[in-house]
Amino acid sequence: MNLLIMGAPGSGKGTFSSRLKDNYKLAHISTGDIFRKNIKENTALGQEAKSYMDKGLLVPDDLVNRLVLDTLQNLPDGAAGYLLDGYPRTLEQAKAFDEATKGTANEVETVLYMDVPHEVLNKRILGRRTCPKCGEIYNIYFKPTKEENICDSCGNELSYRADDNEESLKTRLHEYDSMTQPVIDFYAAQDKVTTIDADNDFETIWDQIQKALAK
């Protein structure tokens, strides 16, 4: 089973990627994770990717395309397919990947699009608070603490990520939409997209995903 998972920041993509990988024995390929690992290990690929990532830019299509195709050549034994996460990110990447894999065992079968309204993403991301001491995660809208801004578990003051502010989130979501919509349209034209109503609880979302993949 060869899958793509797409979804904006805060859509729950990470959580469901992990469940999908375990449940369907897929090789989880996250291009962002591969770049971060290479940067940490200071490889040539890492050095090249870092120069773009540090500026908040996308890594050039050609480099990402080669990386993904190479990774697919070396899937771990026993993988029943792949779950691509973070790729393709542009229409050019989608076209190149399609051309390279069409009619082969690596052709994309299903695209799972984790759809969550912007106002919910806003609350999920902007409402997120973590305890710097014990790591407990809260949300002022969905999982508030008993006492405002104080960790229920250890009594420490909570903190939030500096880049989780309204203005930067608006830009990130806008960028995400404008880049991914053409990719979704490209796969929709091949009848490969399943939209998951991801503004739901875990089990309801998982149920939708399983039904979509059983088809």
Residues that bind ligand AMP (CB under 6 A): 31-32, 35, 52-53, 58-59, 64, 86-87, 89, 93
Sign of CA dihedral 184, 171, 13, 3: positive
Residue 19 annotated among the catalytic residues of the structure? no
Q: Which is nearer to ligand AMP, 52 or 133 (CB)?
A: 52
Measured from the CB of residue 138, what is the shortest distance to ligand AMP in angstroms? 23
Residue 55 annotated among the catalytic residues of the structure? no
Q: Report residue 167 as tokens.
A: 């203005």
9: closest CA among 94, 110, 128? Answer: 128
Residue 124 annotated among the catalytic residues of the structure? no
Residue 128 annotated among the catalytic residues of the structure? yes
Residue nearest to ligand AMP as judged by C-beta position: 32
Half-sphere exposure of 180 (CA within 13 A, CB side): 21
Measured from the CB of residue 60, what is the shortest distance to ligand AMP in angstroms? 7
Q: Which is nearer to ligand AMP, 178 or 214 (CB)?
A: 178
Residue 66 annotated among the catalytic residues of the structure? no
Measured from the CB of residue 50, what is the shortest distance to ligand AMP in angstroms? 9
The whole-angstrom separation of Cα 112 and Cα 82 is 13
Q: Which is nearer to ligand AMP, 63 or 188 (CB)?
A: 63
Cα radius of gyration rounded to whole Å, the chain: 19
Measured from the CB of residue 53, what is the shortest distance to ligand AMP in angstroms? 4
Choosing from 25, 66, 161, 211, the catalytic residue is 161
* Catalytic residue annotation: 13, 89, 128, 161, 172
